[in-house]
Amino acid sequence: MDIDAERLGLMGVDGGGRRRHPERWSGTRVLACALACLALIAGAVGVSSKGGIARASAVLGVSAAVESPAFFGNDGQEAMLGDASVVKEKWMKEQHDWRVVSFVSKNYDEIGKLWYHRLQKLGYKNHYLVALDDQAYEEFHKMKFRVVRAPRFTLKGDGDLSGLWRYRLEYILQEVKRGQNVLLSDLDVMFAHNYDPAVVFNKVGDEDVDIFHSLGAGWPKSAKEKWGFSLCLGFSAFKATMRTKFLLEAVVQVCKNEKHCDDQATLNELYMKYLQMSWTPTADHGERKGVSRNTLLPLTVKTISSLVPRVDVQKMKSMKDSEGRVCYGHLHHSDGEHWAVAPIVAKDGAAKVKVWQEFHNMCFPTPKSGVSDHLVL
């Protein structure tokens, strides 16, 4: 199975069932919009200027970082969420250097429970779910999960995920604007360890990195053809830097001008065509560091493919590590094991749960007593 078959399929058909041509989309329109957005930002601004941020933000029609109410987590909660019962949750007042976030809808409630409980069992206290519909929010809120209702957004059931991908970008931007670092995770990413993002993403040599990405496997095709790899948003870390903010503002604006937005494709295209990323291998387990060659936005990006590998559960059955366990089928780091793994599975809630449980039972056998009463693996 092609690793990104589900994403390719969604991009290949529009809401009315007509075939689309992502190659046409990925050309001049994206570049032109990116040029306009980022040129206006950087041209009107000194990158570190507070006044400049306000001017650039006004150009794009977004709030300045210092004036922006939070999506979640501070005094702007009530205005953003409009639900007093939500903003009273104690955990929302907690301050964390990093927040681990995933998005969930009613169709993915079971995999949402697995993801949440896995992190809870590992000892995470800074992870939460963003519910994309009322049903998912009500279910997880009753279970006392750290969950918030996505403000001003409900996922439609028409199969077109453009709205979700636009919203996800806007969410990350809003958090970064208020100084919150965000680790974005898909629900089917299975965490193996409780590594502190503040440590992982600030190692010696990585202080200048703004964004970290796991690797996809060929989507968009243009990135694969140009670089030999593509970057995936399914496990990505966004440091709250000015450079990250400016990049996200540009991506959001591009997506707003596209009838069918794919956040992963848009980001890869901007890296290639506007930032003209120059990639160099590092000594860090074969990872790559990308530096923008566009002086208007000196962004630095790094891959984390060895920390979060993609795995095929079926192929793993014939692989054993040095301890004789059937698990990753990959060499572990010299300084620790994988942080998480991303099982390859079709975009279907039931299929994700089945593969997730199979993988969990192979790699992380857990006695029932070690799991919340709400869920038994």
At 367 the pLDDT is: 39
121 contacts 371 by C-beta, under 8 angstroms? yes
> Which of 38-47, 171-180, 295-304 is least confident?
38-47
Kindly state the average pLDDT of the residues 47-63: 38
Walk across the sheet containing 340-343 and list its strands.
190-191, 340-343, 310-311
Q: Residue 100: is its pLDDT beyond 80? A: yes
Whole-number pLDDT of residue 135? 94
Residue 377 lies in a domain: no
Quick check: 86 pLDDT over 50? no
Look at residue 231 in the predicted model and tell me its pLDDT: 94
Quote the CA–CA distance of 45 and 53 in Å, as a whole number.
7
Q: What pLDDT was estimated at residue 32? A: 55
Mean pLDDT value of segment 215-220: 79
Q: How many domains does the chain have?
A: 1
**Quick one: average pLDDT of 226-235?**
92
Instruction: Report the DSSP pairing between strands 288-291 and 127-131.
Output: unpaired
Half-sphere exposure of 15 (CA within 13 A, CB side): 10
Calpha distance 177→95 (Å, rounded): 15
Is 166 a domain residue?
yes
67 within a domain of the structure (yes/no): yes
pLDDT digits (tens, 9 = 90+) for 237-271: 999 999 999 999 999 999 888 888 888 999 999 99
Contacts of residue 195, defined as CB under 8 A and 6 or more positions apart, other chains included, come to: 336, 339
In a domain, 176, yes or no: yes
The CATH number for 233's domain is 3.90.550.10
Question: Running DSSP on this structure, what letter comes out for residue 150?
Answer: P
326 part of a folded domain: yes
What pLDDT is attached to residue 31? 53
Q: How confident is the model at residue 316 (pLDDT cuts 50, 70, 90)?
A: low
pLDDT for 317 equals 57
Is residue 142 exposed (0-12), middle (13-18) or buried (19+ Cβ within 10 Å)?
A: exposed
140 contacts 115 by C-beta, under 8 angstroms: no
**126-140, 184-198, 243-257, 355-369: lowest mean pLDDT where?**
355-369
Token pair 């970057």 is at which residue? Answer: 231
Greater confidence (148 vs 68) lies with: 148
CB 207 within 8 A of CB 357: no
Quick check: is 375 in a domain?
A: no
Range of the domain at 117: 5-370
Distance CA 258, CA 254 (A): 7
Instruction: Return the pLDDT at 344.
Output: 76
CA neighbor of 190 nearest in space, from 114, 242, 129, 121: 114
Q: Which residues pair with 130 in a beta bridge?
A: 103, 148
Q: Is residue 212 scored above 60 in pLDDT? A: yes
